[in-house]
Structure 1
């Protein structure tokens, strides 16, 4: 089971269990037990590696002080054997809610003094909330057992431990946030926004040997973790990253600590604090820090436009250089807090509402000081509806203490997203598009622009994005001459200049010169013109050549080298390779191609994780196909056949059992023919017979009714013609049933043969099928891109032709002709005196 399958299973099961508990609260319980399982398994792994076995493990109790100290020294905590998660599962029949209360109490008591800051009170939410799981100890016990069963299959023994657990953890946080509305949205940063911020920050830090990162409104800790993951790609060891987090809400603060620990971060690299960031900054006399906190990067997604108390803050070192934010909006208070804590060569990224770019008063003064002190590096406008619980558009602002340049890069990415339910989501291609332009600081029409300090001053320090980057669609214009006399203005053909540059002869093939400023369309069959154009042929041929080269690279890297693939970096490497191969194709949106790669990468990555964890033999492994079915009013997991662990049965069937499936198709076609014959008989019956013999809808014979009616007709012998029809229907139904049985048996046999074949495949045979799963569909979509480009051009040219195909003179002629016809019709009408006067007046209006 890969991590996506595991997360989906947990969410499905969780939905069935949380009817009496708010989603945001239920999250705390399920994630708390996942964390407890993680800690239990870490201790169990340590003990087993040191030689403990089934006989000696029960001796690991609190009374054995030497073992207690040994485990505390290595893990920072101690869990006795009776309190281990695995013991609870093993002795489920004797399990009781009191076991959890005693275990959590013991855990708090047995934390090592050196790790108390990391673990103290971390299960407080779970411990105090157990009573909400039921009205009695019995109902609470039942709910907890269901939870334990739900999470017991999370793998703990592979090299991907932290990644799998982290994925499940983040998946649940995101799903609960999406389904719990604003309450969850207060602390959750959507994964895609977190990845974007992390990539931007990590790129700035990529040359450092060790780094410190800080989130003063840490929430779930996802921002910190994603930055750590991105930055670790450039470091010798992930242990060279120190994580600092501060969070106001106690429940969420515990979530931060759990998440950091579960990702395998050493407790000695975790520094967390439960406090109000604006009121209680990390002071110099903190015993663990010993000095003011200055870090390489600060990231935050603070609550938007929150009220705060600015009283007495004017001399606070965080604010005295820039000013104090108004009490009704703390946005700049959080920003200045973050800026204060970065080193001179550090960077910060913060999510804020658009208002901080243009609001006046104290905020306007702070913004002016930030600009004049050259702190603002980049502003990225995000799409609306991208955060849970709020539809307001937001920005990411990057700031630094010292910069070589003094311009500001402004990016408007508001048009780059995809719809996902009620929300908008950044795609992988959108993230890459933004990241690339921030790194290169390029000016791209309708997307990005570097703005000089002088221009910002001239705009009175207003940084509102539309002032500098106009991403709106151009207004439709109409040429008066072309509207009157026809033709297409050459000025409107200029927007296709990139096509004329790539296809130099195409324009002449499409249009005739009408005069100096206008052209007319030569022919209407654009498709034929495109097919016959040699430049378009060359364009497609060159693209297919690069596509074939990329396909060979994919085969070499992913199929032949599947055990050596670096799962953390491979998609980036493949993306860069794809960009390189498409660099000469100005008509191709390389980010569209990258999105195709990313869509397929999600499946490839899940499979590669399993293969690297289990060896190449995972390719030929089969799993029970488990489905949920109702049994005695309950959902019960039931096996329905088998499925491929990596390779879908369909691929095996398509390659090795085509003849068998052809036979099934023939039988199914025969059933279709029989069904038509039965329907014909049914339709030709009179309504009374039909009502007695068919179902309520009148679409099918009811077999028992048909049999009884045949018996009656044989006995009475009064309608031989009807008897003949019904006998034929009965015969056809029996034949249909026999064929259906044959099809079912054949499919079961093929299913069994497929299982045997898959399990007996050689590695090379299996790799050929994996190629069909991973690479073939990816390449099918990639090679469609040139055709999509030409279809887009064809559609735009047809729209332009239609725009001026009917002139105003033509319309005037049509109106005049219609008026003439109407006047003639009036002459043929008769009526009384007043009717005729009215018709004469109407003819006068028409000019007749």
Structure 2
């Protein structure tokens, strides 16, 4: 059985738990990622004479497994890694972490247990990479990405800069048009490549296998990048270790700087030591001909290096702090010259707290040398408000990424979001590129109308501001508002509490809802058969891209509903559930959807998954199709009967509680003969009835106990019947999985599971429309419901009443 991505991620993160305590994330990532690398290349290439990686005898993961419990396990793991490194020119790459370091891994038995557990985690079935990979979909690379993101999160401010968020990387790649690359002979370069995540994300967007060049000065981080390239299927990428500014490695035979078709970079912000090791004034590559950056701030040093590394038609993107857009002095002079050259194609302002290692907001400066002399403006986007909180960081959602890319690549001007700013206007502003100077992204102020507060009525200005709603629901406006007592003001026709029903029950809203449902139904019909015919070997990433892009297209012209919100529902569901289902099918086929397996306890005697069905001691887990869907489609009458039995049992249980509450307290008819701690049972009640059988004074108590006993027996009988019915239904359901036909499997998974969830999500967008309109109208109605003179009169009348009451009570002043 193929393993789901979520299970791979869970196992990998468990490996980190085995190391926590002895070191922080910036250190234990080196151990985990090396083991991941060794496991992958061993599964993928061991025994393959034509493999890209040679796995020598004594240099495989199997050799590590054999060491579990060995007293010299740390030292021997180092030997295994050294053999693998030696055979593949990976010295200084995979042998950076010392597996025999007692300070980090403990000494004696602590080290043996810790490393044995760590190797054991990587030996789990879900981490068998020899067969767990869908063609064209980088499961292992995604797992590596998952770990890198979590390591960056845990590494703290000073140590998380080795990773560029994947969403930002994809924006940069798409913004430079790498999808239009013409051949594999073209190159992509990152001068500060870190762990290589940005380079790889950009490379993956290209239609060809571009030549990859990267440079990184940190030894351990460069090692991560080299491993990252292999794990992503790019083993020939050149990743050099050295300081890019002082010693750029990639140069031509004549000593000039090598130029590239595409360059991406996320350099350290405001690097104070950027000029260490060389004299910028005498730079042999003439990178600083536009001016020398400040000695204590290297932002423009990196940008100028990127510009110098671009071919005459080259395109690049660099992440920069916002200060580069407006700081003065030397940076202002450099900025003006770059702008005048036409090299800056666009600027994308990003949310704050997005990057690891810093919380400050950053921007992407998009550079393009092609036709730079003819450039007449700079396209700016303020995307600072589109994000979601994710732990202690902010994160761009899929919808934020897509909106940015669509807007930038199409150069679409959107109010309060994007704008093509003419160079003439920038020049008038002294070549200051600060985005708020050109795009006001603030929300319009909700102005209070003094006259309306004094005289009543709702300002037409506020009602007209809801024009997008009235364009779709013109008659609803007339249902909600009538003419006011004076020009410019309207009177509400519906009480605040009745606003929502008035909207939802109106035929125009019903028509709008039907239109939205029809659009979704059209998309559903277009892809239903495609999803039902997913086959082994299909590409999940290509599939979701097709589904998502077409969903955007379908909802592009639907008013009041943001197509990107609908798109986000699909992408969220894909990440949380649907991709796991698809990955299993493309590896094991539709028969996997028929599987319901028995759970087994782990070494600690616990179940690691929540069972779907419990049959006595047997715990069952459905692989892809939840039992509730099988029950709904095939066991409707049985489920209804079970619900009736459960309802009857609950009703009797409530009756028992009420009688106990009424007569069970001190002095109650059910309290005699027992302490406060004693619980009434059928046996205890029968015993008490025997005690008072001949007691003529206990007639009322006997009657109460008899009634209570009858209820208890009825409740037990009903509960037992419900329990038996549930067991019978669960048993029948579990057995039915094996009987499901291929057509039924497809119906259950595609229609009843996937489409049902997505349809509910689209319906939630309709609810948001009605809620938004309702909320605004209720606010306006309540805001101006009571004019100031009426409030004053009410206060005066109430004051008079209070005074009168006080006088009658003998208080006067």
For normalisation by structure 2, the TM-score amounts to 0.87
2:20 — aligned with what? 18
Cα separation, partners in 2 of 1:782 and 1:319, compared to 1, 3 Å:
same
- SS of corresponding position for 2:319: strand
Of the three residues 355, 360, 377, the one matched with 1:407 is 377
Aligned positions of 1:122-201 closer than 5 A? 122-127=93-98, 130-132=101-103, 134-152=105-123, 153=125, 154-156=127-129, 157-160=131-134, 163-201=138-176
2:463 — aligned with what? 493
RMSD (Å), alpha carbons: 3.5
Deviations 1:524-547 (A, max 9, x none): 444465456554444333333222
Cα separation, partners in 2 of 1:799 and 1:353, compared to 1, 3 Å:
same
2:265 — aligned with what? 300
Cα separation, partners in 2 of 1:612 and 1:830, compared to 1, 3 Å:
closer
Distance in 1, matches of 2:675 and 2:542, equals 63
Which of structures 1 and 2 has the larger relative contact order (alpha carbons within 8 angstroms, sep 6+)?
2
Of the three residues 80, 97, 108, the one matched with 2:85 is 108
Aligned positions of 1:413-424 closer than 5 A? 413-424=383-394
Cα separation, partners in 2 of 1:690 and 1:140, compared to 1, 3 Å:
farther
- SS of corresponding position for 1:449: strand
Conserved? CA contact 1:652–1:754, under 8 Å: yes
Of the three residues 612, 621, 644, the one matched with 1:643 is 621
Cα separation, partners in 2 of 1:446 and 1:737, compared to 1, 3 Å:
same
Distance in 2, matches of 1:627 and 1:183, equals 41
Query: Please, which runs of 5 or more residues in structure 1 have no aligned partner?
Result: 47-70, 840-848
Distance in 2, matches of 1:458 and 1:480, equals 39
Conserved? CA contact 1:204–1:347, under 8 Å: no
Distance in 1, matches of 2:775 and 2:738, equals 50
Conserved? CA contact 1:301–1:350, under 8 Å: yes
Residue 583, structure 1, aligned to residue 556, structure 2: yes
Conserved? CA contact 1:11–1:172, under 8 Å: yes
Aligned positions of 1:593-672 closer than 5 A? 593-602=566-575, 603-625=577-599, 631=605, 641-672=619-650
Aligned positions of 1:140-289 closer than 5 A? 140-152=111-123, 153=125, 154-156=127-129, 157-160=131-134, 163-203=138-178, 205-231=180-206, 234-235=207-208, 240-265=209-234, 267-268=235-236, 270-284=237-251
- SS of corresponding position for 2:335: helix
For normalisation by structure 1, the TM-score amounts to 0.84
Once the 2 structures are TM-superposed, how far is the Cα of residue 387 of structure 1 from its aligned partner?
A: 2.4
Conserved? CA contact 1:133–1:143, under 8 Å: no
Conserved? CA contact 1:202–1:227, under 8 Å: no
Cα separation, partners in 2 of 1:439 and 1:691, compared to 1, 3 Å:
farther
Once the 2 structures are TM-superposed, how far is the Cα of residue 637 of structure 1 from its aligned partner?
A: 8.6
Once the 2 structures are TM-superposed, how far is the Cα of residue 363 of structure 1 from its aligned partner?
A: 1.8
Deviations 1:689-712 (A, max 9, x none): 96995786x8x5589988997898
1:371 — aligned with what? 339
Conserved? CA contact 2:22–2:106, under 8 Å: no
Distance in 1, matches of 2:540 and 2:106, equals 46
Distance in 1, matches of 2:458 and 2:106, equals 77
Distance in 1, matches of 2:193 and 2:115, equals 29
Aligned positions of 1:373-522 closer than 5 A? 373-402=341-370, 403=372, 404-514=374-484, 515-522=486-493
Quick check: 250-259 or 9-18, which moved more? Answer: 9-18
Cα separation, partners in 2 of 1:176 and 1:723, compared to 1, 3 Å:
farther
Q: How many residues align?
A: 787
Cα separation, partners in 2 of 1:731 and 1:407, compared to 1, 3 Å:
same
Higher helix proportion, which one? 1
Once the 2 structures are TM-superposed, how far is the Cα of residue 455 of structure 1 from its aligned partner?
A: 0.9
- SS of corresponding position for 1:600: helix
Residue 30, structure 1, aligned to residue 26, structure 2: no
Deviations 1:424-470 (A, max 9, x none): 22111111111110011111111111111111111111111111111
1:64 — aligned with what? none
2:614 — aligned with what? none
1:765 — aligned with what? 744
Residue 779, structure 1, aligned to residue 759, structure 2: yes
Deviations 1:584-636 (A, max 9, x none): 323221111111221222222221111111122222123343566965xx998
Conserved? CA contact 1:629–1:636, under 8 Å: no
